[in-house]
Chain A
Amino acid sequence: MAKKEITAASEGKAKKLGTKDLIFAGAFGAIYIVLMLMVVMSCGVIPILYVSTPFLVGIVCATVYELCILKVRKFGAALILGILFAITTSSAYLPGLILAIVVAVLAEIVILMGKYRSKKMFLLSYVVFNLNMVCPFTNLYFNRESFIAMATEYYSKEYADGVAKLANGALPVLQILLAVSGAAIGLLIASKLIKKHFEKAGIV
């Protein structure tokens, strides 16, 4: 069972993911999702804020993510977080779901390159991880007509036009940039907060 963990153990100094680590990852996943839903729900009203949720979520959720992977420090923490995220947000649209999981695997690889020691790699992995905020929007890129039709029916003509105007070819690039910059700002806050509160308390 779980051959991945064994290969990780042979490569780095990381040990196998224990039950305790699984519990931590699941619980941090819950905190991450609740925070993200709060941000998205309060921003969904205005099209331009809705489209820029990758930025805002990146700022708010960076601390939770960093704390999770710093607490566990083994292969799988970011992956579990990413899969929980994918199930709850992108399960309605298959390409988005797959993309979200791929992003989580990439984040895990970034941490693996730091051999679960390097602090820079821990920080850098969030920049990759936060790209999963773009995945729920894949519905909007690939399936544009039906998304606009849905927006027209649900919201109003004006809202749909607003989204349609924003959703041109540049939107994916813009959202990826927003996700990366949001993650960068979030990381600044996260590293400060973790140093100020959690390292002092001896938690990580």
Chain B
Amino acid sequence: MDFYGSDERGLIKLDPRTKFFIFLASGIMTFRSYSDVGTALYSVLLCIIFALCGKPIQALKASLLLGLVLFFRVVLQNSQGAPEVIVLLITALTTVFMFGFPTVMSLLLIVKTTRISQFLSAFQAMHFPVKVIIPIAVFFRFLPTVTDEWNGVRKAMAFRGISLRPVQIILNPWKTIEYILIPMLFSSMAVMEELASATMARGMDVDIKRTSYEQVKFGITDLVMVILLIGAIIFTTILGNSVKGGTVL
């Protein structure tokens, strides 16, 4: 079950709550950090965490991509004589990448290295009501499914000669919405029905305290990680605001 995530081969095992905190921290960091270097360092940190949690190959791929984009960006910004328009466009594109990278990376961390049962038992240990936990757990469980369905629909449409290139999307947007959205919704809804039946079969709708095979503990690695992140957040929010647009990390 590589598709829905596990951390069995990981060097460290993080608590799902810590991963959730990393996700929230990424949001704050991307909005509060005012420098390339800070965001890049944070992104590298996320890649390292991802590798330690048992996904070294994907982490390596992501960090190589990050390095390539950063290299391109720095080279282009310091080059002389390049056309203004291209510099502007590439800067904007790489910025969108850098801005989205921490958020996407921390979402991947949750999705790829957490089993749903770990997620459920961790949040149940915090005495969250089931009505709060289930939608969030299903949300994270469903993210890979949506991308999977999306790929399936794209391949099916390519097979029938309907291309999903940007030009086509701009030329007839209504058709594109119908051709992509409707098959995707239909197949996702079939998955939802199955998921609901599976959940019912496991007795999730009974309102009693559940036991779990998963041992979820908030250990020393989690503590170190949370302290590190809180430190980083305080550092960026205070220093980043006092030196507006400066080169402080």
List chain A positions with a Cβ less than 8 A from chain B.
1-2, 17-20, 22-27, 29-31, 33-35, 41-42, 44-46, 59-60, 63-64, 67, 71, 80, 84, 91-93, 139, 145-146, 149-150, 152-156, 158-159, 189, 193, 197-198, 201, 203
Kindly state the separation between the CA atoms of A99 and B188 in the bound complex, as whole angstroms: 30
Q: Which residue of B lies closest to A1 (CB)?
A: B129
The one of A46, A64, A193, A203 that contacts B178, using a Cβ cutoff of 8 Å? A193
The one of B30, B92, B138 that contacts A22, using a Cβ cutoff of 8 Å? B138
Contacts of B27 in A (CB 8 A): 91-92
Kindly state the separation between the CA atoms of A29 and B140 in the bound complex, as whole angstroms: 10
What's the tally of chain B residues with a CB closer than 8 Å to chain A? 62
Since A22-B138, A24-B192, A84-B136 are in contact, a sample of 9 more A-B pairs with Cβ atoms closer than 8 Å, ordered by chain A residue number, is A19-B130, A23-B192, A23-B196, A27-B138, A45-B93, A60-B181, A71-B189, A92-B28, A156-B87
Interface: B174 (CB within 8 A): yes
| Nearest chain B CB to A177 CB, angstrom units | 20
Q: Which of B175-221 contact A (CB under 8 A)?
A: 177-178, 181-182, 184-186, 188-189, 191-192, 195-196, 199-200, 204-205, 207
Kindly state the separation between the CA atoms of A189 and B179 in the bound complex, as whole angstroms: 13
A and B contact pairs by CB, cutoff 8 A, 29 listed: A1-B207, A19-B196, A19-B204, A19-B205, A22-B134, A22-B135, A23-B195, A24-B192, A26-B136, A26-B139, A30-B140, A33-B139, A35-B181, A41-B100, A44-B96, A45-B89, A45-B93, A59-B177, A60-B177, A64-B181, A92-B30, A93-B31, A139-B31, A150-B34, A152-B245, A155-B95, A159-B92, A159-B95, A193-B181
Kindly state the separation between the CA atoms of A20 and B197 in the bound complex, as whole angstroms: 8
Interface: B32 (CB within 8 A): yes
Contacts of B100 in A (CB 8 A): 41
Q: A20-B196, A30-B145, A156-B91 are in contact. Are A197 and B182 (CB under 8 A)?
A: yes
The one of B24, B129, B185 that contacts A63, using a Cβ cutoff of 8 Å? B185
Contacts of B147 in A (CB 8 A): 34
Find out whether the CB atom of A34 lies under 8 angstroms from the CB atom of B143: yes
Find out whether the CB atom of A30 lies under 8 angstroms from the CB atom of B143: yes
Kindly state the separation between the CA atoms of A71 and B139 in the bound complex, as whole angstroms: 17
| Nearest chain B CB to A27 CB, angstrom units | 5
Q: A153-B245, A156-B88 are in contact. Are A92 and B31 (CB under 8 A)?
A: yes
Kindly state the separation between the CA atoms of A22 and B205 in the bound complex, as whole angstroms: 10
List chain B positions with a Cβ less than 8 A from chain A.
24, 27-28, 30-36, 87-89, 91-93, 95-96, 98-100, 129-131, 134-143, 145-147, 150, 166, 173-174, 177-178, 181-182, 184-186, 188-189, 191-192, 195-196, 199-200, 204-205, 207, 241, 244-245
Q: Which residue of B lies closest to A30 (CB)?
A: B142
| Nearest chain B CB to A84 CB, angstrom units | 6
Kindly state the separation between the CA atoms of A80 and B196 in the bound complex, as whole angstroms: 17
Kindly state the separation between the CA atoms of A152 and B245 in the bound complex, as whole angstroms: 7
| Nearest chain B CB to A190 CB, angstrom units | 10
Contacts of A41 in B (CB 8 A): 96, 100
| Nearest chain A CB to B191 CB, angstrom units | 8
Kindly state the separation between the CA atoms of A20 and B129 in the bound complex, as whole angstroms: 16
| Nearest chain A CB to B39 CB, angstrom units | 8
Contacts of A25 in B (CB 8 A): 135
Contacts of B34 in A (CB 8 A): 146, 149-150, 153-154
